[in-house]
């Protein structure tokens, strides 16, 4: 790729970028949210057309007018948000969209399944070909997407944030599969923010910043500090935050009795599991959950995703009603209260699924930034909206939270994943809060944005806000927590802030033994 440029209106998303990929190489594409990484790869995969620049594949000129053109030249892309049809099987998804149409006889699904199994065994990416997609875990869906590209004989595989929603074990398994593919001659491009994974897996790294190519480096010639500096244009250090809970307490002193008031209290919360849904995986029920969060502290809930965290989050916010038990905010019973009433009690909400519960994609960014109060002064009333006030507030928060968007009037659906998360964060933290519920607040964010989010959460703690952090990121838990629980199969275990003990509890060791279960 040579001097590739792509503009959207007056914004140069990619500005004269050069990029090359070698056979058998794992090449990481690194940059802040909105730096142009996905846009550049969308050009390579045929999803969008460049404004200028040239491409060559195996020494031959290439210009792709569709993803099928790219597939025909051996280039496949696995997107951050999967493109699988949930009610079809893996094998059916594998052949879905292949050229030929309904007039041609579909390949025998048994033969397709056999080939998928062989590919999975070859690369360590096994997925049952006869399983429906909605039955698969997130990691299995990721593997199915990769197998679909390999089935179509992709020699170049583009993976957009492939580990963003995976557990630690699934990440290790995926990275090993990628290494196997590279050793067997495939060329892999990984779009990622995770510096640990890049330093572990990549052969070379290309860094983009604000649409421009900053550097292309061999992995052995750089380190995480340099990559972070190249990515955001300044020194970034999360080490300062990675201190013990005791040291963090010394920063502001131990909260006094007045500051130790209970803001959130959960007592014996029980909720039946939902039936298996098209979103994938059966929901875990909540089994007698007890929890307290005081003003001026950060309490974390760690655990492997899928152990009841999403259901607990929804129960706290009134999105689901528990079977029994109680949820109290500052002593008031809010069990099963409607979400609006919860928000009016001074709760800031950063949902784990930013698109399902955080944003309305068809509304403007400005409208989304005041969505929880859009029908109240100064933004509107039940009968009309005040566009000028909404736009002004949107512009203020866009600047304050560094949301990369052309204007406040742009649709929220056009935001990159990281900028969408910043928008959700901006809305949640722009008001005076009593409680901040932050579920997976840094998922999909680059290192500079993570630093910013951590600073915001610590600032809320300093101001006396009670913070409940739900996170699968153990570094995040260790960096921010005053106290920690682990959720395993719908139960909470209060666990000391010790990485090994938290890890054991995440695997169910403490919970299965009954130690510390509350």
pTM listed for this prediction: 0.68
Q: Distance (Å, rounded) from C-alpha 223 to C-alpha 32?
A: 17
Residues counted in the chain: 518
Q: Among 31-45, 75-89, 311-325, 497-511, where is mean pLDDT lowest?
A: 497-511
Section 485-503 average pLDDT: 88
511 phi and psi angles, rounded to 5 deg: -65, -40
Q: Are strands 298-302 and 2-8 parallel, antiparallel or unpaired?
A: unpaired
For 300-319, what is the mean pLDDT? 88
Task: For residue 79, give the nearest of 166, 6, 10, 142 by alpha carbon.
Answer: 142
SS3 21: coil
Kindly list the distances between the CA atom of residue 247 and the CA atoms of 121, 224, 452, 471, 479, in Å, as whole numbers in the listed order: 48, 25, 20, 21, 11
Least confident of 69-78, 245-254, 458-467: 245-254
**CA-to-CA separations, 133 to 7, 70, 106, 118, 353, in angstroms, rounded:** 36, 25, 20, 19, 19
- Angle value at C-alpha 211, between 210 and 215, nearest 5 degrees: 90
Cα distances from 509 to residues 7, 373, 495, 516, in angstroms, run 52, 44, 12, 11
Give dist(CA 316, CA 200) in Å, integer.
Answer: 38
Instruction: Tell me which of 6-15, 175-184, 253-262 is least confident.
Output: 253-262
Distance CA 140, CA 90 (A): 10
The Cα 41–Cα 55 span in angstroms is 12
Inform me whether the pLDDT recorded for 185 exceeds 60: yes
pLDDT tier at 363, thresholds 50, 70, 90: very high
pLDDT at 102: 46
Mean per-residue pLDDT over the chain, rounded: 84
Asked if 450 and 442 count as a contact pair (C-beta separation under 8 A), the reply is yes
pLDDT-derived band of residue 232, with 50, 70 and 90 as boundaries?
confident
pLDDT of 127 higher than 80: yes
R_g of the chain computed on alpha carbons: 24
What's the pLDDT band for 337 if we cut at 50, 70, 90? very high
**Dihedral through CA 131, CA 137, CA 139, CA 145, nearest 10?**
40
Rounded-to-integer distance, Cα 256 and Cα 416, Å? 42
Q: How far apart are CA 243 and CA 497, in angstroms?
A: 11
**Taking residues 125-138, what's their average pLDDT?**
85
Q: How far apart are CA 365 and CA 410, in angstroms?
A: 6
The structural domains of the chain, with segments of one domain joined by +, span: 2-232, 245-359+428-513, 363-414
Distance of alpha carbon 159 from alpha carbon 186, whole angstroms = 13
Give exposure, 121-154, as e/b (b: 16+ Cβ within 10 Å): eebebbbbbeebbbbbbbbbbbbbbbbbbbbbeb
**Distances 218 to 22, 38, 99, 203, 206 between C-alpha atoms, Å:** 13, 21, 39, 6, 9
pLDDT (mean) for 174-194: 89
State mean pLDDT over 39-67. 92
Class of the 245-359+428-513 domain? alpha beta
Beta bridge partners of residue 77, listed in sequence order: 158
Q: Which of 124, 181, 175 is nearest to 156 (CA)?
A: 181
Question: Are the C-beta atoms of residues 394 and 366 closer than 8 Å to each other?
Answer: yes
- Bridge partners of 28, per DSSP, are 190, 205
Angstrom distance (rounded) from CA 386 to CA 367: 10
What residues have CB less than 8 Å from 7, skipping those under 6 apart?
13, 51
- The model's confidence at residue 107, banded by pLDDT at 50, 70 and 90, is low
How would DSSP label each residue in 264-327? EEEEEEEEPPPPP-TTSSPPPPEEEEEEEEETT-EEEEE--TTSSHHHHHHHHTTSS--SEEEE
The reply to whether 245-359+428-513 shares the fold of 2-232 is: yes
In this structure, are residues 388 and 382 in contact, taking their beta carbons and an 8 Å threshold?
no
Residue 155, pLDDT score: 92
Question: What's residue 316's pLDDT?
Answer: 95
What are residue 27's DSSP bridge partners? Answer: 189, 204
| Residues 6 or more apart in contact with residue 217 via CB below 8 angstroms | 204, 205, 207, 226, 227
* Residue 383: predicted pLDDT: 86
Whether 290 and 327 have beta carbons less than 8 Å apart is answered as no
Q: Strand 262-271 and strand 324-329: pairing?
A: antiparallel
Query: For the chain, what percent of residues have pLDDT higher than 70?
Result: 87
CA pair distance 470, 435, nearest whole angstrom: 13
Kindly report the number of other CB atoms within 10 A of residue 12's CB atom. Answer: 17
Residue 360 has pLDDT above 50, yes or no: yes
User: What's domain 2-232's architecture?
Assistant: 3-Layer(aba) Sandwich (3.40)
Q: Would strands 60-62 and 75-78 be described as parallel, antiparallel, or unpaired?
A: unpaired
Per-residue pLDDT band for 104 (boundaries 50, 70, 90) equals very low
The pLDDT of residue 504 is 80
What gap in Å lies between CA 110 and CA 516, rounded to an integer?
A: 49
């Amino acid at each position: 790729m040579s001097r590739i440029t792509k503009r959207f209106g007056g914004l140069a998303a990619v500005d004269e970028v050069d990029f090359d990929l070698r056979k058998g190489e794992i090449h990481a594409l690194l940059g802040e949210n909105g730096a142009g990484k996905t846009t550049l790869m969308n050009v390579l995969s045929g999803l969008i057309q460049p404004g200028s620049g040239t491409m060559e594949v195996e020494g031959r000129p290439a210009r792709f007018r569709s993803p099928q053109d790219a597939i025909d030249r051996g280039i496949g892309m696995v997107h951050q948000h999967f493109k699988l049809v949930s009610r079809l099987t893996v094998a059916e998804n594998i052949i879905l969209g292949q050229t030929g149409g309904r007039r041609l006889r579909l390949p025998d699904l048994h033969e397709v399944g056999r080939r998928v199994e062989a590919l999975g065994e070859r690369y360590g990416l096994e997925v049952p070909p006869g399983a429906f997609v909605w039955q698969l875990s997130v990691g299995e869906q990721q593997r199915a997407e990769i197998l679909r590209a390999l089935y179509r004989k992709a020699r170049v595989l583009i993976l957009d944030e492939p580990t963003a929603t995976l557990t630690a074990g699934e990440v290790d398994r995926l990275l090993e599969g990628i290494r196997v593919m590279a050793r067997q001659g495939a060329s892999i491009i990984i779009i990622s923010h995770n510096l640990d994974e890049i330093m572990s897996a990549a052969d070379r790294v290309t860094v983009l910043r604000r649409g421009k190519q900053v550097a292309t480096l061999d992995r052995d010639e750089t380190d995480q500090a340099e990559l972070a500096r190249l990515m955001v244009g300044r020194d970034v250090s999360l080490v300062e935050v990675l201190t013990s809970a005791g040291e963090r307490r010394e920063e502001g002193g131990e909260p006094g009795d007045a500051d130790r008031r209970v803001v959130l209290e959960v007592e014996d919360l029980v909720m039946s599991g939902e039936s298996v849904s098209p979103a994938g995986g059966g929901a875990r029920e909540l089994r007698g959950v007890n929890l307290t969060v005081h003003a001026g502290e950060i309490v974390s809930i760690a655990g492997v995703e899928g152990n009841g965290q999403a259901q607990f989050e929804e129960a706290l916010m009134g999105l689901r009603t528990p079977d029994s038990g109680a949820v109290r905010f500052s002593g008031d019973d809010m069990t099963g209260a409607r979400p609006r009433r919860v928000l009016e009690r001074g709760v800031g909400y950063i949902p784990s699924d930013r698109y399902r519960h955080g944003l309305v994609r068809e509304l403007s960014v400005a409208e989304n930034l005041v969505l929880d109060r859009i029908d109240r002064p100064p933004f509107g009333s039940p009968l009309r909206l005040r566009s000028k006030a909404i736009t002004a507030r949107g512009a203020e928060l866009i600047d304050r939270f560094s949301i990369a968007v052309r204007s406040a009037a742009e649709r929220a659906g056009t935001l990159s994943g990281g900028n969408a998360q910043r928008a959700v964060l901006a809305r949640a933290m722009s008001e005076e809060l009593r409680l901040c519920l932050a579920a997976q607040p840094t998922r999909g964010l680059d290192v500079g944005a993570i630093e910013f989010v951590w600073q915001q959460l610590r600032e809320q703690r300093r101001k006396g806000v009670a913070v409940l952090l739900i996170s699968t990121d153990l570094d995040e838990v260790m960096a921010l927590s005053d106290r920690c629980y682990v959720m395993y199969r719908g139960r909470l275990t209060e666990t000391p802030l010790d990485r090994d003990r938290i890890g054991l509890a995440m695997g169910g060791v403490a919970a299965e033994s009954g130690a510390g279960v509350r």
